[in-house]
């Protein structure tokens, strides 16, 4: 008999402002059921981060505990932080009672807090590929056992720290029996390859750009409804088809960063603000403003313009 | 009491045959991955529908193209499951265990009695479920290497029979070593010095200042430690090195992750130091006192011997030594192929530490470059 999951099931159709497929929803549910991290990859702007927020919204988990990874990030930064400088400053004050101890200066960070709390929540580790190649492997053990050790906390202060109502954790931080493990969603733009053991540990979703115009229209509608904007269906319908033409030509020209769903939504908004309609929106006659929204790299822009020049009559 | 890993009872474990095949083909899966599969099945994922079951296997266990291909082949060897089979799975599993191993793939996939459901489909995890590769009737392809006498050049692989094109083969080039392994190797080359802007808290100095003055006006800072180790890789771009080009590309890319003070890969043809991009003097000046890793077959791939090449290589090695460089030569050919070629002479007359290319020797080379041996 399977243990009842503390989380609800993620249904694709239940996401109000995010369009996804039943296949993606199945992988999400598997990851939740097996307590395995979910690695989401896909081209920039295809909705990787938004998927995490959609899961949290559908499952009623409240705010997403987000940690954005930087090139200098270490796995430890997601777990805890030791404020050594503040401790040094406090240690100068003979009246400060905290100074001689280390534990007041240990602060749990997003993943550490989520593990220690033992309550249902979603932790988003965004753009893991920005970090050093050691980062994912250092996280592997933590994501496997949902447990970690605070190296900076001396053993003799572990009990003190656990008894402190503002801290409540010891040198070894782990969920208590019966506690809930957090849902961990990790996104990557694949700028760096991730180590195989890490890939094996995660369940994997590759978000691809949808080529079905109806699905794209649904995505646009879903995004616009979130911001409460009212845009004519006919404009969205036409823009989506022209956008697909732009996308096809992008692949034909070998553009490094073809426009994705986020660019499509921005473009539809821009077309609405510019009060343009079906008659003056055409993939083969993009305006400079369209270029600015759809083509993000100078190299891609030059590549896009080059064949257009040669197509000129005469 | 039965051992679940015994073949008889292994058939009762769903997808175990597939799981074992994935492991046999190099997938880094562990027992916990299989248990996760069981938990998922128990929770209703995958069901007994082969399509859903295959999808579940892909979600849980497939991370590479090869994994996907293995799973596809495994499921392709199974006939679709009749709906009626779902009603009595355990009985079918017992039938499967009692039945002798079939001789042909078609016979193996047929139900044991007319109208009866196919047991293999009901439990595709049966360890003895056959695939086209297991069928003795399927012609096998053997890859043979043409014999080459010592020092007489690289043997050319030849096929002894045409391959049976049973499916699509996506051949993925694989580096000898992963970028991560190489990056970790370079990180062992360390020569730490405190250089640059003072931004790191010097706790000892701060406490000393506090004790001496009675008050600490500001924390004492010091520059961070930085690795100043330099590594120059000289890679041979000669045609005889063409088979190792993918590895050299990974090697070059891995330098960026090595946290070295300065690192570069420079191409040469036949004689190291005769750079295709920059002058030898410029290279030597930039990497003076650093480590040099030469990657070249030294003529051993084709069994060539050239006194001129040996003389010029020795001149370069002498010059590098004068600039305080440690040099190790990695030869991608096995040591017995060096005999009678320029490589053996370079090793002897250089003299230079020349090692055949493999992970262990690369680690040994790095140890030598850092002065540990």
Other C-beta atoms closer than 10 Å to the C-beta of A47 total: 24
Please determine, for residue B231, whether its predicted confidence score (pLDDT) is greater than 90.
Answer: yes
pLDDT at residue A44, rounded to an integer: 82
Confidence band of B125 (pLDDT split at 50, 70, 90) = very low
Tell me, yes or no, if A62 comes closer than 8 A to chain B by beta carbon.
no
Confidence band of B292 (pLDDT split at 50, 70, 90) = very high
Name the percent of chain A lying above pLDDT 90: 22
Decide if A1 is inside a domain.
Answer: no
Tell me, yes or no, if B60 comes closer than 8 A to chain A by beta carbon.
yes
Could you tell me if A43 and A160 lie in one domain? yes
H helix or E strand, kind and range, residue B272:
none
pLDDT at residue B329, rounded to an integer: 94
Could you tell me if A260 and A302 lie in one domain? yes
Could you tell me if A195 and A250 lie in one domain? no
Decide if A3 is inside a domain.
Answer: no
Tell me, yes or no, if B215 comes closer than 8 A to chain A by beta carbon.
yes
Spell out which residues of chain B touch residue A23, defining contact as CB-CB under 8 Å: 55
**Across the interface, do B219 and A88 touch by the CB < 8 Å criterion?**
yes
Decide if A6 is inside a domain.
Answer: no
Output the six-digit token pair for A205.
Answer: 């979703």
Q: What is the pLDDT of residues A114-165, one digit of tens each?
A: 999 888 999 999 999 888 878 888 898 898 888 999 998 999 889 989 898 8
Task: Identify which has the larger pLDDT, A82 or B216.
Answer: A82
Please determine, for residue B87, whether its predicted confidence score (pLDDT) is greater than 70.
Answer: no
Could you tell me if A282 and A180 lie in one domain? no
Q: What is the pLDDT of residues B52-70, one digit of tens each?
A: 888 999 999 998 888 888 8
Could you tell me if A98 and A54 lie in one domain? yes
DSSP string, chain A: -PPPPSSPP--GGG-SS----HHHHHHHHHHHHHT--EEEEESTTSSHHHHHHHHHHHTT--S-EEEE--TT--GGGGTEEE-HHHHHHHHT-TT-SSTT-SGGGEEE-HHHHHHHH-S--EEEEE-GGGS-THHHHHHHHHHHHSEEE-TTS-GGGHHHHHH-TTT---SEEEPPTTPPPPEEEEEE--SSPPPHHHHHHSEEEEE-----HHHHHHHHHHHHHHHT----HHHHHHHHHHHHHHHHHHHHHT-SS---HHHHHHHHHHHHHTT--GGG--TTS--HHHHHHH---HHHHHHHHHHHHHTS--
Could you tell me if A45 and A145 lie in one domain? yes
pLDDT at residue B79, rounded to an integer: 62
Chain A with chain B: Cβ pairs closer than 8 A: 57
Could you tell me if A52 and A178 lie in one domain? yes
Bridge partners (DSSP) of residue B347 are none
CA distance A136 to A196: 10
Could you tell me if A110 and A92 lie in one domain? yes
Tell me, yes or no, if A196 comes closer than 8 A to chain B by beta carbon.
yes
Tell me, yes or no, if A27 comes closer than 8 A to chain B by beta carbon.
yes
Tell me, yes or no, if A203 comes closer than 8 A to chain B by beta carbon.
yes
CA distance B189 to B259: 9
Q: Which of residues 88-117 of A touch B (CB under 8 A)?
A: 88, 92
Give the lowest-confidence range in A95-104, A256-265, B2-11, B336-345: B2-11
Task: Identify which has the larger pLDDT, B145 or B300.
Answer: B300
Confidence band of B144 (pLDDT split at 50, 70, 90) = very low
Spell out which residues of chain B touch residue A204, defining contact as CB-CB under 8 Å: 59, 63
Determine the average pLDDT of the residues in B17-36: 87
- A132, A199, A203 ranked by CB distance to B59: nearest: A203
Give the lowest-confidence range in A64-68, A94-98, B243-247, B341-345: A94-98
Output the six-digit token pair for A210.
Answer: 């949808």
Could you tell me if A104 and A239 lie in one domain? no
Please determine, for residue A206, whether its predicted confidence score (pLDDT) is greater than 50.
Answer: yes
Q: What is the pLDDT of residues A233-272, one digit of tens each?
A: 888 888 888 888 888 888 777 787 888 888 898 898 888 8
Of the candidates B89, B68, B88, B82, the residue with the CA atom closest to the CA atom of residue B22: B68
Determine the average pLDDT of the residues in A14-25: 84
CA angle B357, B359, B365 (to 5 degrees): 70
Could you tell me if A241 and A180 lie in one domain? no
Q: How many domains does chain A have?
A: 2
Question: Which residues form the domain of A116?
Answer: 12-207
Mean per-residue pLDDT over chain B, rounded: 75
CA distance B373 to chain A (A): 27
Could you tell me if A299 and A256 lie in one domain? yes
Please report, for chain B, the start and end positions of each structural domain, with discontinuous segments joined by +. 1-83+118-132, 183-188+228-369, 195-225
CATH number of the structural domain spanning residue A184: 3.40.50.300
Could you tell me if A194 and A125 lie in one domain? yes
pLDDT at residue A121, rounded to an integer: 92
Spell out which residues of chain B touch residue A27, defining contact as CB-CB under 8 Å: 59
Domain end (from A151, A177, A207): A207
Give the lowest-confidence range in B53-62, B185-194, B275-284: B275-284
CA distance B15 to chain A (A): 17
pTM here is 0.62
Give me the CATH topology for the region B183-188+228-369: Rossmann fold (3.40.50)
């Amino acid at each position: 008999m399977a243990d009842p999951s503390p989380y609800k099931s993620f249904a694709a159709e239940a996401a109000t402002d995010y369009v996804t497929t039943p296949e993606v929803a199945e992988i999400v549910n598997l990851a939740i059921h097996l307590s395995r991290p979910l690695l989401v990859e896909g081209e920039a702007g295809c909705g990787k981060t938004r998927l995490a927020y959609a899961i949290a919204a559908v499952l009623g988990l409240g705010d997403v505990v987000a940690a954005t990874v930087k090139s200098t990030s270490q796995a430890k930064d997601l777990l805890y932080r030791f404020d050594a400088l503040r401790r040094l400053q406090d240690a100068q004050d003979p009246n400060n009672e905290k100074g001689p101890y280390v534990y007041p200066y240990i602060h749990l960070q997003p993943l550490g807090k989520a593990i220690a709390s033992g309550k249902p929540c979603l932790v988003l580790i965004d753009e893991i590929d920005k970090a050093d190649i050691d980062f994912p492997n250092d996280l592997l053990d933590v994501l496997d056992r949902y447990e970690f050790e605070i190296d900076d906390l001396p053993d003799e202060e572990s009990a003190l720290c656990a008894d402190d109502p503002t801290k409540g954790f010891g040198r070894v931080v782990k969920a208590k029996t019966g506690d809930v493990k957090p849902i961990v969603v990790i996104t990557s733009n694949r700028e760096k390859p991730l180590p195989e053991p890490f890939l094996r540990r995660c369940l994997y979703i590759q978000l691809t750009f949808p080529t079905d115009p109806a699905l794209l229209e649904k995505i646009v509608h879903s995004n616009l409804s979130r911001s409460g904007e009212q845009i004519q269906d006919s404009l969205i319908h036409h823009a989506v088809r022209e956008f697909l033409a732009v996308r096809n030509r992008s692949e034909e020209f070998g553009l490094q960063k073809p426009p994705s769903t986020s660019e499509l939504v921005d473009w539809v908004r821009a077309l609405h603000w510019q009060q343009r309609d079906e008659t003056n929106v055409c993939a083969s006659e993009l305006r400079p403003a369209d270029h600015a929204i759809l083509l993000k790299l100078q190299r891609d822009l030059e590549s896009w313009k080059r064949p257009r020049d040669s197509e000129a009559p005469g | 009491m039965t051992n679940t890993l015994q073949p008889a009872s292994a058939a009762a474990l769903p997808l175990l045959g597939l799981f074992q095949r994935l492991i046999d083909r190099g997938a880094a899966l562990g027992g916990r991955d299989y248990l996760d599969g069981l938990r998922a099945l128990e929770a209703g994922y995958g069901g007994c529908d082969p399509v859903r079951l295959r999808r579940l296997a892909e979600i849980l266990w497939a991370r590479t193209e090869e994994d996907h291909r293995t799973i596809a082949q495994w499921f392709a060897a199974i006939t679709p499951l009749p709906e009626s089979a779902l009603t009595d799975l355990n009985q079918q599993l017992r039938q499967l265990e009692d039945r002798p191993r079939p001789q042909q793939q078609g016979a193996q996939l047929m139900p044991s009695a007319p109208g009866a459901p196919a047991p293999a489909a009901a439990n595709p995890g049966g360890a003895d479920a056959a695939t086209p590769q297991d069928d003795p009737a399927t012609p096998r392809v053997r890859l043979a290497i043409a014999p080459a006498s010592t020092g007489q050049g690289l043997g050319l692989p030849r096929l002894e029979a045409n391959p049976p094109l049973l499916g699509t083969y996506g051949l993925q080039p694989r580096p000898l070593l992963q970028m991560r392994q190489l990056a970790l190797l370079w990180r062992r080359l360390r020569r730490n010095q405190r250089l640059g802007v003072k931004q790191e808290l010097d706790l000892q100095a701060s406490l000393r200042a506090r004790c001496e003055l009675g008050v600490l006006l500001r924390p004492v800072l010091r520059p961070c430690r930085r690795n100043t180790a330099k590594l120059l890789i000289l890679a041979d771009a000669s045609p005889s090195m063409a088979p190792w080009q993918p590895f050299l590309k990974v090697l070059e890319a891995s330098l960026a992750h090595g946290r070295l003070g300065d690192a570069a890969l420079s191409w040469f043809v036949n004689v190291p130091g005769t750079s295709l991009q920059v002058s030898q003097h410029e290279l030597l000046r930039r990497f003076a006192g650093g480590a040099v890793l030469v990657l070249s077959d030294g003529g051993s791939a084709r069994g060539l011997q050239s006194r001129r090449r040996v003389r010029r290589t020795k001149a370069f090695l002498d010059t590098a030594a004068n600039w305080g460089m440690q040099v190790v030569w990695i030869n991608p050919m096995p040591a017995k192929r060096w005999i009678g070629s320029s490589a053996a002479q370079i090793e002897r007359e250089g003299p230079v530490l020349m090692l055949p290319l493999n992970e262990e020797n690369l680690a040994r080379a790095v140890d030598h470059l850092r002065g540990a041996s």
